[in-house]
Chain A
Amino acid sequence: MASFLKFIAVRFAAAFATMLLVSFIVFTLMELVPGNCAERYIAYKTTQGQLITEADIRAEEVRMGLDRPYIERWVKWVSSAIFRFDLGESCLWRVDVTQLIGDKLGISLGLSFAALMLTYVIAIPVGILSASMRDGVLDSSLRVASYLGLALPNFLLALGIMLVSTVFFGDTLTGLFSDEYRDVPWSMAKLGDMLSHAWLPILILGWSATAIQLQTVRALMSDEQGKLYVTAAKARGITGMRLLMCYPARHALGPVINSIGFDLNRIFNDLPIVAAVLALTDAGALLLEALAKSNDQQLAGAIILAMTATIVALNFLTDILLAFIDPRVRKGFF
């Protein structure tokens, strides 16, 4: 047991180190953006008719702590993010980033995890079935679907669905809320309204992850099925579902669990682009706006950091889960 705790501690330390490295990369990127927050804010004030001097910019820099050395500011940024969930102030809106992204990040994570669930709910059973009846109709049509999943990126699929629905049903299927719910506070009715719109983004976000995961599950199952322990189980008279589920499927599950984090990564990748196509109002759209339109480095950095933190946390959890369910991994600890 002690060694298992040690395993958890080591994995946690590794995840923490990864997060620090990521935060450093993201922070460096934000630093590299031409111009800093103070200059941008002052530039905004100038457009409002105020006369701004060089001294004002310097004063603003001192107020925001931008005159401190680079490493010191990074440490401050990271530590306040860890200890107080405080990611600084948005350059443009002058409000806390946490407050700005809170709700929208929630929606994004909700959509992403729903897409992730969809991926596994479809990929695991269908992949297992497909492998057990190799070269049948189901199998070959699945292979075509998987290739399409690679070749047709999510946003092209979204465009295609929009095109068809606009031409045939006169509805572009965009947005997450109906007009009457857009700006009202959260309620059951608003949640229901969102869910009735959310199926399309979820489906589209999960599309290529599902296609790739199907391929993986199928390949893993085909590999396992030829192995001796399966033959031995057959010789003992085990057949049908029981044979499939208790023997090859159990072994194939390990690598699948291991890849959950990367699937989430794949889904996050598509978030801003799908948001752009479907006119969603989530963190993906906010990230897009922060980067493409307003150059809001604080906001963009915070969103990327939050996304990566989710992936790292999920990777950490799946590592532990794997140790629990796979005796081969567990063996080393107990």
Chain B
Amino acid sequence: MALFAAKPIKKEDYYTASQLQLVWARFKKKKSALIAAFCLLFFVLSGVFAPFLSPYAPTAAGRNQDYTNGAPQIPQFCDAKGCSARPFIHKVERHRGVETNFRWVTKQTDKRNYIVLLPKSKPYTMLGIPLSHRLFGVEEGFIHLFGTDATGKDIFSRTLHAIGISLAVGTVGVLISFVLALVIGGVAGYFGGWVDTVLQALMDTVKTTPTIPLFMALAAFIPDEWSAEARFTFISIILGLLGWGTLARRIRTHVLAERNADYVLAAKLCAAKPAHIIMRHLLPSFTSYIIVDLVISFPYMVLAETSLSFIGLGLKDPVNSLGVLLQNVTKVDVLLNYQWYFIPVPIFVAIVLAFVFVGDGLRDAADPYSEHRK
């Protein structure tokens, strides 16, 4: 058995291993999926702990008025005056004079501004816990690892918060579509007949309509005066409402295939109700497939949210998401002069890729026949 190639394990361990152990053992073998899983964990953690990890608030409250559209400041150890063990950035200075045509410009000076760990900041809350220190900062003034946007907001802080928000929208959306798929797919498969036909027609229709235009039509209902939280909830619900088609179809097929099995008949003879049979007997037989499907559909939720926010129909400032961050980048001015607006893009591509690889790895790991193929 090549299953536990790393350490010699007795054959009976394989037969007594639980479903979870088997899946994990197969998952571990695929290097790309394992690396992707660690990346994903890293991103999730940085999204969850964004308030602590980012040096400033991502909203107008944390903006640096003296450094708008500022270039990224990369910490360095050496400059013309020599090297130091502590990383530092150079201070900037606002200056106006004849040579600048009497406009304010930001100029770099050669004064050093050392980076400090756990500086005191304005009080904020993370996961409900009030805190007053951030992970890092500088001795005085501001540090902007990814630069700043047109209003002086720190792009690094915004990116971290955007990761958290995008993952949260995706999670809520996936959960909603999961519940819908479970109910609709389960009912269609279990009862069959005309119920199945009607629900199938509904699934087909939802699948035929172009989703993003439908998303847009739904999102257009959001009145402008809604709060950021209400908007967030509504967008997640929309994503969930339109994303259940594929999973529902899969659940239906499984239930349809299983509903004549002996154990279902046994449950029926014990006078179990349909809801009980579907939830307790039928669904557990393919939990792993459902989980895999959810992981695979996750990046699509995130991307749909990004598209919606990007065209201005999804989330809005002060809530950050990738789409919100990218709202203003199509201007020629930005394209030519402020390319650091694009730094969040590769990060998000990496997150989606991580999801895709983990989903692929999980799919292969959950399939007990994957090893016997080829």
Residues of A at the B interface (CB closer than 8 Å) are 17-18, 21-22, 25-26, 29-30, 32-34, 147-148, 150-153, 155-156, 159-160, 162-163, 166-167, 172, 261-262, 265, 268-273, 276-277, 279, 287-288, 291-292, 295, 300-301, 303-304, 307-308, 311-312, 315
Contacts and interface: CB of A to CB of B under 8 A. Distances in A.
B313 A311 contact: no
A270 B326 CA distance: 16
B208 A315 contact: yes
A292 B221 CA distance: 10
B260 interface: no
B353 interface: yes
Give the interface centre of A291, A292, A307, A311 by most chain B CB atoms within 10 Å.
A291
B85 interface: no
Secondary structure dominating the interface of A = helix
A291 B220 contact: yes
Interface stretch (B89-97, B152-160, B327-335): B327-335
Contact of A292 (B220, B223, B329, B332): B220
Contacts of A147: 353, 356-357
B335 A167 contact: yes
A291 B223 CA distance: 12
Measured as residues with beta carbon below 8 angstroms from the partner, the interface class of chain B is 35 or more
A307 B210 contact: yes
Contacts of A153: 303, 306-307
B126 interface: no
Top 6 A-B residue pairs of the complex, sorted by shortest distance between their CB atoms: A268-B210, A151-B352, A166-B335, A269-B212, A291-B220, A151-B353
B201 A151 contact: no
Interface string B284-304: 000000000000000100010
Contacts of A270: 212
A304 B208 CA distance: 11
Contact of B349 (A25, A34, A151, A292): A151
A160 B335 CA distance: 10
B210 A311 contact: yes
A295 to B, nearest CB: 7
Given A29-B214, A287-B216, A312-B208, 11 more contacts: A22-B205, A22-B209, A147-B357, A151-B353, A163-B342, A166-B335, A271-B213, A279-B330, A291-B313, A308-B209, A311-B208
Given A18-B204, A163-B342, A291-B313, A29 B213 contact: no
Contact of B221 (A18, A33, A163, A261): A33
Nearest to B331: A172
A314 to B, nearest CB: 10
Contacts of A292: 216, 220, 311-313
B345 interface: yes
Given A150-B299, A159-B345, A172 B332 contact: yes
B60 interface: no
